[in-house]
Amino acid sequence: MIRVFCFLIFSLYNTVPYAQELDSADTTKTKFKLNIVPTISAGIHVNLQDFYLDFGAGAFEPKSKIGAQLSCSFRPFYKKVQIHQQANIIRQWKEKKYLVSVDLYKRILKFHLSQSLNSSFLAGAKSGYLFGDYLGTRERPKAGLTINPFLGFSIWLNGMNLDVTYLLFNDRLASVPNSRLMFALNIPIIP
């Protein structure tokens, strides 16, 4: 339910039209120039029982404040998990998981924290393929597509964005909560 609500909010903000600047000499034509800035990002999403490293590259459009990136998240260690296969059979394995995703996000409502520090709200979703590996066995955890919404804020720091968001990340483990904090540093590549 929370995922659907976050997805609908994200979709609503993407469909709201924004005003375009008018040329003062010719008011019937609008100036529209698509300005795409390539970005790279590095981050971590963490809760008290688990964490994933996250790396990605993508693009950001500053006028509409919409961005997209291809990212890879992974758990850098094997985590001990218990899998309930039947009513009285519980197996314990060491598991490593990976997520290859397309992240779509929008920065909303720019505001100033101080004279030199700008900030905005951030809403988006990590949609991708989650798969994994068990140590010492041929069995694999259940793989599949997943949509993980996030909501938070972004702080502009000397040409970089520091994003602090709440991520609802379902890694299909009953012993690990789905709630996580995601910290990411987005760096625009300006030639």
Q: pLDDT, tens digit, for every residue of 73-87? A: 998 888 887 777 777
Question: Does residue 93 belong to any structural domain of this protein?
Answer: yes
Question: Does residue 25 belong to any structural domain of this protein?
Answer: no
Question: Does residue 165 belong to any structural domain of this protein?
Answer: yes
Question: Does residue 24 belong to any structural domain of this protein?
Answer: no
| Number of domains the chain contains | 1
| Domain extent for 126 | 37-188
Question: Does residue 132 belong to any structural domain of this protein?
Answer: yes
Predicted TM-score of the model (pTM): 0.74
Domain of residue 124, CATH code: 2.40.160
Report the pLDDT averaged over residues 153-174. Answer: 86
Q: Spell out the residues 6+ positions from residue 159 whose beta carbon is closer than 8 angstroms to its own.
A: 187, 188, 190
Report the pLDDT averaged over residues 20-25. Answer: 41
Question: Does residue 177 belong to any structural domain of this protein?
Answer: yes
pLDDT digits (tens, 9 = 90+) for 97-126: 899 999 999 998 888 877 778 899 999 999
